[in-house]
Amino acid sequence: MEWANDKSKGGVLAHLERLETQMSRSCKNLEDPPRETAESDLGTKIHKLRCLRDKLRAEVKQRQARIKASTANAEPDQTLEISEQEAVGGKEENMKAILQAYRFTGLSGKRTSRGVCVCISTAFEGNLLDSYFVDLVIQKPLRIHHHSVPVFIPLEEISAKYLQTNIQHFLFCLCEYLNAYAGRKYQADQLQRDFAAFLAGPLQRNSLCNLLSFTYKVEPQGRSFPFCARLLYKDLTTTLPTDVTITYQGTDASSTSWEEQRASHENLFFTKPLHQVFTSFARNGER
């Protein structure tokens, strides 16, 4: 139904609301009860609410008793149901213990009506980075209700492997992937932000930050960009590359000093985080 065409201010619903407030205001004006009666009104209200509360409490007790009674004479299937309930309760306790233990690895969680929401805080070299959450529903089977894990992290693979059998391992594995991704991303961002003077052109990267390609020089004042770097991170749980290829593009390729430099750079990229490599280039340049 379209009320939008109504000419009066705000339409029919607003009009009805105005009538309602008018009515309640006129009621108030007619009977302005003296203080005492107002207090006794509140008193009656409190009494009514208390009675309602007691009634509901009694009902809850009755239902619990009924359940206990029915399970006492239960069929084998029904007892299985209860032990499943206990198993679920046990899982909750287990989860609580895991979360307490892993608090220091950036893992924390809070109870939800359905289960638990786990928060994974990533960090790299003492810098706190992004947080991700996984909302778990504690049922049989255990399932993920919501999450904020980026789509290129293999969450489905990890949960297929570990979620049902070993929650601990699932969380630990996911932590590993997310922390490693955050660390690689941090290095790439630092390189782009703080060492842009050493790079020719944009840093080529991808969503997982597991392939980086760039052309660089070792002195910000120098005019040529003699080195090409290609870094591959085939192990998604690490923040250092698994493959490093440095090529020299300069004109005097025959010079041995360039070859020495190239080889030493390769070693640096294998062993140190990106921004540290460039910090050392900068420091060497200052000498």
With contacts defined by CB under 8 A, name the span among 10-18, 28-36, 80-88, 259-267 that binds other proteins.
Answer: 10-18
Instruction: Indicate the residue among 123 and 208 with the shorter CB distance to other proteins.
Output: 208
192 binds other proteins per the rule CB under 8 A: no
Out of 88, 138, 208, 244, the residue judged to bind other proteins by CB under 8 A: 208
- Bin 43: left if φ > 0, else alpha if -120 < ψ < 50, else beta: alpha
CA triple 97-101-104, angle to 5 deg: 145
Shortest Cβ 28–other proteins spacing (Å)? 16
Amino acid in the structure at residue 154: P
Among 89, 114, 152, 280, binds other proteins (CB under 8 A): 152
Question: Which span sits near other proteins by CB under 8 A: 67-75, 84-92, 99-107, 146-154?
Answer: 146-154
Closer residue to other proteins, CB minimum distance, 156 or 259: 156
What span, in angstroms and rounded, lies between the C-alpha atoms of 232 and 246?
Answer: 12
Nearest to 276 by CA among 209, 214, 192, 190: 190
Among 62, 146, 194, 280, binds other proteins (CB under 8 A): 146
Peptide bond before residue 141 is cis, with ω within 30 degrees of 0: yes
CB burial class (10 A; 0-12, 13-18, 19+) of residue 146? exposed
Among 44, 140, 126, smallest CA distance to 91 is for: 140
- 91: its two tokens: 């899982």
Answer for which of 52, 234, 247, 263 binds other proteins (CB under 8 A) is 234
Pick the binder of other proteins from 98, 124, 147, 229 (CB under 8 A).
147
Does residue 17 bind other proteins (CB under 8 A)?
A: yes
Closest Cα to residue 118, out of 137, 93, 141, 139?
137
Nearer CB in complex with other proteins: 61/234:
234
**DSSP 3-state assignment of 143?**
strand
Residues that bind other proteins (CB under 8 A): 1-4, 13, 16-17, 20-21, 117, 133, 146-148, 150-152, 204-208, 210-211, 213, 232, 234-236
